Structure 1
C-alpha cells in the first residue's frame, strides 16, 4: 500500500502567518462587540409621542395702565388772611468806615528811643520742684511716729512701709481664681508737702498692679524730705511680691 501524502510537504510552514491573521480578526471582532451600542426603541417612541401631544400655551401680555394723580385744587383766598405790608425805609444814617492802620514799620517811620531801667522789669521767682533720690538725700521723709537722726529715720521709714504693706495687703479674688502671681514694682513720689503722688506700677498683670497702687495710695502724709534747708520731693520704689500659698 502506497502513501498518498507527500513526505517532502511542510505543513507548519505558514503557521505563524495564519496565527497572526487569526489573532487580528479576533481582536477586531472583540472591539466591535465592546463598542457596539443599543438603544431601547420603546423609550424613544414614548418621547416622540410626548413631544407631539404638547400644547403650546400663549402667555397673555399684561398691560398696566397708569392713572395720573388729579391736579391740586386751587386754593381760594381767605378773607380773614391779612396781607403782609412791606414798608420801605430810606437809609438816612451815615456809616463811618473803619480805617485799619498798618503796624509794619517803614523806612520813613521814626522809632521812639526809650531807655528801660532795671527797676521797671518785674522779676518773678519760680520755685523749682527738685527731686532728690532717697539714697543720697540729707534728711529722708519722716514717716509718722519715726524719730532720731537721718539713719534712724531711714530705717524707721522702711520698717513702717513694710508694716503698712502687711496691714493693707489683700490678694485680689479674680487673681486667686486665675492663679496669677508675680512681683509688682511700685514707684511713687513724696512731694515737698509730704503727700504721696505720681504712683506707678509695673507687674505681670493689671489686677496685681491695681492692688499695689491701692496699697501705696493709703500711705499717710509725711514730713517732707529736706535738702540744703529746703523741702524737696523724694522718689521711692518698692517691690510687692504676690504669691499664692499651696495647701
Structure 2
C-alpha cells in the first residue's frame, strides 16, 4: 500500500471516529434534556395543585351524649346465718322469771317474765295468714326491701344492716315490756307455746294488716293488742319511694310450772 492510500484510509477512520463521538454526545444530551424536562413538568404540576387546592382545617368530631341506663329493683338479699343450738335447760319446779335476751339478728329471741322466747330461723308456712292486697304502693319483705323501716331511736344509723338490727332489737324490747305473760297460766297452758305474728308497715310507717295465730284465742288477742301499740316508724323505701314492708315476728314462750 502506498502513502496516498494510507493517508486516505487514515482520513476515513478519523472521520468515522468523529462521527461516532458526535452521535454518542447527542444521545447523552437527549437523555439529560428529557430528565430535565420531566423534573420541570413535575415542579409545575405540584405548584398548580397547591395553588388550586385550598387547605381546609379539620374539625374535631362532635361526640354525642351518651345515654345513661338506670337499673331498677336490684337489691342484695341478706345472708341468713345458721342458729347455734342451745343446750337444753334443766327443768325447775318453781316458776322463774328469765332475763330478756336477743339471739339472732334476723328473728330476735325475746325472753319475757315466765316466758321463754326463742328465735325462728325458718319462717313457717303462713298461707292462711297472708292476705296481701294489690295496691298501687309496692309491697316487699323485710329481707328484700332496699331500706328497711326505721324504728324510733334508730335514725342515726347509716347502713341498712344496722337499721335492720336496731329495728329487731327495739321490737323485742317493746314486746317484752308490753306482752302479758300471765295469760299462759291463767288459761291452763303448759310447756312451750308459740304465737305467730305478721303485719305490714305501710307507706306511712303505721302497722296494718295484722295477722296472728296462737294455740289460744286469748294469746292472739294479746298479740294484736301489743302490736297495735307499736309507734309510728319511718316507712321502708325502694328506689327512693315509700313502700309497704311485711314483717314477721314469732313469739315463743315457755310456761314453767
The two structures have a TM-score, normalised by structure 1, of 0.46
Between structure 1 and structure 2, the one with the greater Rg is 1
The two structures have a TM-score, normalised by structure 2, of 0.44
